[in-house]
Amino acid sequence: MKLYLDEDLSARVAKALRKLGYDVVSSHEVGNDGLPDEAQLSYAVSPRFWSWWRAAIPGARLEHRYGR
């Protein structure tokens, strides 16, 4: 399982997860920082990843609609 971390999660989180054996890619590493939540989510829900992201209150609808 490959995890995709939104820019709200620091590089330290990615590093810690890798030490635990997870395959992790962060938005920092793929040049997605600064993209709107919708674009982050489109990237994250591709067949390559499980996603882990946090959003401000307006983005909560996206988590509810797409998250699992």
Task: Give residue-wise pLDDT tens across range 11-60.
Answer: 889 999 999 999 998 999 999 999 988 888 888 777 666 655 555 545 55
Q: Report d(CA 39, CA 45) in Å as an integer.
A: 10
pLDDT value at residue 16: 94
Average pLDDT over residues 6-12: 84
Residue 64 has pLDDT above 50, yes or no: no
